[in-house]
Structure 1
């Protein structure tokens, strides 16, 4: 059974990671979340659940307006051949969230299997604080960069901080 929002917030509290969570109407896309960006300060993000030809899974996390070239990102993240978006059933199996709720906080659901390689865009990691869904798209959780890194490490993941965004092509 995947962790719930309450499980996640309790886990963060147990790690002494300071977060604030604000409820709002469900949002499924970056475009739908523009109003929330105006109300909640900090960096707002998008999350790409990607799979390479060998079946390796990557979670690429970048600022909401970052341009990411899917034709060349495999070279930056060390994927085998081009990447494609992971299917919804794989997303639910691995991270325990449906499309529209993808978040690096879902790494809580990959603590045992360690199937996901988290990639945090270097530009995003210059912004303070950062905002993510707390496993559901009806709220936004604000966390510091260091808190995000501490959380990922507590889940058994060492995130790769790589410059994946550029002005070459967009997702």
Structure 2
């Protein structure tokens, strides 16, 4: 569950950040918002959620009149031509945890958005105040660029203002000038998993029962997730049927489903089990090794694969939802037609 508008405003007050909040009907565009808060005279901002070919995400916050050439921006980030595109709507909910029309730098307060890169239009610095939605498009808050910086710094983000209209040439003699702004925490899941396997091979792992048990537990959790999603899907189509089960069985299934539905908790459990096995086998192979060194290896692996595991689990969850919906629909059609 992401931050709500009320929680965000409370956080701003705790940080002693000056702002004004204006309520208005829900809007989806800058133009529509202008009809309700255009008289404030602040800098209207458009906010884009972009995605590259390596499934990394970017929030770009710019003045409404700033022209952003995605091809040029892509090259300046070191992504090559055509490396950036608009992110799918599902990413709004899974990463930023906001609905359509509510992309904002404030959404980076959510833990799920920690790997999303942020680019701010340097033109914002020329205005006394900027206008953003506070995680909800039925309100607009006005605050100064320095106040925005204070908020971003409080959540561990270094504000980066760039000229988004600059047509900077990139080549052998001119490296990408914005490459440092790409979040480096996201890396290839396959390469990180290869590192884990390499560590296990180097310490001559002789037993695989613990790893097998971890795999079984993971499969059980995924199975529980699919069951939960399938039930949710049939409820949406109106084809759900109530079945009786023993109280104990129902309780266990419910707990497993709830755990699997929580992506972050599910991923933490998988990583914790894997880390425990890696440490155990390292210690078995060489009792003279220092625990602090072994722990640092696992901590490094955990840090690097968490984001990718969460992304893959979200994809799995969305796929299971879609397949569950289709299965429920197909199973209900023969009965309706009969």
Please report the TM-score for the alignment, with normalisation by the length of structure 1.
Answer: 0.89
Deviation at 1:36, TM superposition (A): 2.9
Matches of 1:121 and 1:146 in 2, distance apart? 14
**Cross-structure match for 1:125:** 125
Q: Does 2:119 align with 1:104? A: no
Q: Which has the higher strand share?
A: 1
Instruction: Provide the rounded CA distance (Å) in 1 between the counterparts of 2:86 and 2:113.
Output: 20
In structure 2, stretches of 5+ residues that fail to align are 168-338
Task: Identify the structure with bigger relative contact order (alpha carbons < 8 Å, sequence gap 6+).
Answer: 1
Per the alignment, residue 86 of structure 1 pairs with 87
- Root-mean-square deviation (CA, aligned residues, Å) is 1.7
Higher helix proportion (structure 1 or 2)? 2
Distance 1:161 1:86, change over 3 A: same
What does the per-residue CA deviation read over 1:32-58, in whole Å, with 9 as the maximum and x for residues that have no partner?
223134222210100010111112211
Q: Given that residues 51 and 86 in structure 1 are in contact (C-alpha distance below 8 angstroms), is that contact kept between their aligned partners in structure 2?
A: yes
Deviations 1:126-167 (A, max 9, x none): 211011001000010011101101111111211321111369
Report the CA distance shift for 1:79/1:56 in structure 2 as closer, same or farther (over 3 A): farther
- Larger radius of gyration, structure 1 or 2? 2
Maintained 8 Å contact 2:104/2:134: yes
Deviation at 1:113, TM superposition (A): 5.4
8 Å CA contact 2:62, 2:120 repeated in 1: yes
2-structure distance, mates of 1:42, 1:123 = 12
Q: What's the CA shift for 1:79?
A: 4.7
The equivalent of 2:61 in structure 1 is 61
Kindly indicate whether the alpha-carbon contact (under 8 Å) linking 2:57 and 2:117 is maintained by their aligned counterparts in 1: yes
Distance 1:165 1:48 in 2: 15
Give the Cα–Cα distance (whole angstroms) in 2 for the partners of residues 126 and 29 of structure 1. 23
Counterpart CA distance in 2 for 1:27 and 1:51 is 24
Q: In structure 1, what is the Cα distance between the partners aligned to 2:45 and 2:148?
A: 13
Distance in 1, matches of 2:30 and 2:67, equals: 13
1:158 aligns with 2:158: yes
Q: Equivalents in 1 of 2:93, 2:52: separation in Å?
A: 18
Change in CA separation of 1:58 and 1:89 when aligned onto 2, cut-off 3 Å: same
1:120–1:162 contact (8 Å) kept in structure 2: yes
Q: 2:28 and 2:78 mapped to 1: Cα distance?
A: 27
Is 2:107–2:113's contact at 8 Å kept on the other side of the alignment? no
How far apart, CA to CA, are the structure 2 residues paired with 1:79 and 1:106? 25
Contact 1:2 1:96 in 2 (8 A): yes
SS in 2 for 1:28: coil
Cα distance in 1 for residues equivalent to 2:113 and 2:47? 20
Q: Secondary structure at the match of 2:101?
A: coil
How many residues were matched structurally? 165
Structure 1 runs not aligned, ≥5 long: none
Q: What secondary structure does 1:46 align onto? A: strand
CA distance in 1, matches of 2:165, 2:135: 24
Any conservation in 2 of the 1:62–1:165 contact (CA below 8 Å)? no
Report if the CA contact (8 A) 1:56-1:79 is conserved: no
Q: 1:152 to 1:2 in 2, by over 3 A?
A: same
Distance 1:152 1:91 in 2: 19
